[in-house]
Structure 1
Amino acid sequence: MECKVIFIDVDGTLVDYENNLPASAKEAIVKARRNGHRVYICTGRSKAEVYDEIWNIGLDGMIGANGGYIEDHGKTILDLKLSYEECKHIVDWLKSRNLEFYLESKNGLFASENFEERGRSAIQEYSRRKGKDHIEKISVRDVFPDMIFGACLYREDVSKISFVLNSYQDHLDSVKEFKDLKCSTWGGKGEIALFGDVGVKDVTKAYAIEKLLKHIGARKEDTIAFGDAKVDIPMLEYCQLGVAMASGGEEIKAMADMVTDGVDEDGLYNAFVQLHLI
């Protein structure tokens, strides 16, 4: 078969929501690249959140920050960032509302003073909704092992800022406050969302995939995307073939061309076999 360009979301697709990487997923990627296919992760994570376990699989590169960052074989192709003034505005606004948050940068994750305590319950609930057991043992440092506390939060290297919602109204108010930026939610649909985020406007995973394809001289017709959440829908819509994980949300499964098994059920490997990538 012709060589494909494969885009894989990370959380809930490549790894589970406790950062466990199935051996079968690693094997699938290694075999696919050996067969001549290109494999990129396409994630909301910043580069700083892509830990060695993932890089050591062997990847052609990554799309991060939900489309704001592109890297191909170690070369940065796109790195969109909030300005220092925008970052300061967001940080000050969040502090004024007593909302805990963290800054996402390729240089690290920088947390607000009480994020470790306040974020723990939100992360545990996020894991519970994904069907995980023993959620009471999950901590912020389990999910974000390299998170930095106590650093200056006024920065010029920030791609986006995530914050714990006290209520859905916090998100609605962020939309009004930051009209020139992109305000989203994650960790649940609509009013049950657990987190809000603020980043660069008009950026999506699909936008970044289009730019990367132009850079490497590849065709849209040869693309396959894997995802599990609403934020992945533009990516699945853009690519020639969109695959949803059975452990994902109903919205993405309804629009996908194919649904594979869950991330903990060798879903990635099984789909690679079914699609004759390996």
Structure 2
Amino acid sequence: MKRFALNSATTRRWPLPDLVAGCVDAGVDNVGLWREDLSGFGVEAAAALVRDAGLTVTSLCRGGFFDAPGWFDENRRAIDEAAGVGAPVLVLVSGGLPAGSRDLDAARAHVGEAIGALVPHALAAGVRLAVEPLHPMFCSDRCVVASLGQALDLAEPYPPEAVGVVVDTYHLWWDGQVWAQIARAGRAERIACFQVADWVTPLPAGVLLGRGLPGAGCVELRRFREAVDAAGYTGPIEVEVFAEEVWSRPGRVVLDEAIAGYREHVA
């Protein structure tokens, strides 16, 4: 349980003070936060709330969306927010194809250039950028980085302390190359964040919300945990689930189920 982290996306409708209190009561030491958690609360107030409760912020989601106007300034703000709340990692979701484009190669090249433009600010702030590959079904509109190998290729030109990758079981479980790529990420010291969620079928109409708590689906979650361990990753393990069925239940109930699933299927 020392590595278990509740990502606030899993309990999306649980207000931040209640989430913090629930984690303390459940003996959870780590939380992953989203920028939406900070927007209505304030970065300084959120940082104080979490710090005073003795919790550690494991990551902040998210930066990226480099296809959007104003991406440079928006990502600099995201880096500053991560530093302000004490998150060592800012998760980057690259964004999809620019409007009217079909050129995936150019879109991915732009992501690499955008990351490079942000590296100096990230290093100065003490925040590590973490490139997250998403399942290929999100390639057109949310993330042109569709495999761990692609994420590592984008990170490779930059120092490991500046740019790493996210290993997210929901997005990577299907890829027959993922085990070799996790080992590659370990050799390069690139694993910055490890997130677990299960793949539940049939998928709902909104496929983005098709995740399940650990044990609810078909992913070999413990195999992933063993693979990242073998690659040298010893950091937190975030349970991050997007699912209306999960969000509709009380936050503490979801947290207890996440802990139970983590113990049985991940740890």
The TM-score, its normalising length taken from structure 2, stands at 0.39
Which is greater in Rg?
A: 1
The structure carrying a bigger helix percent of its residues is 2
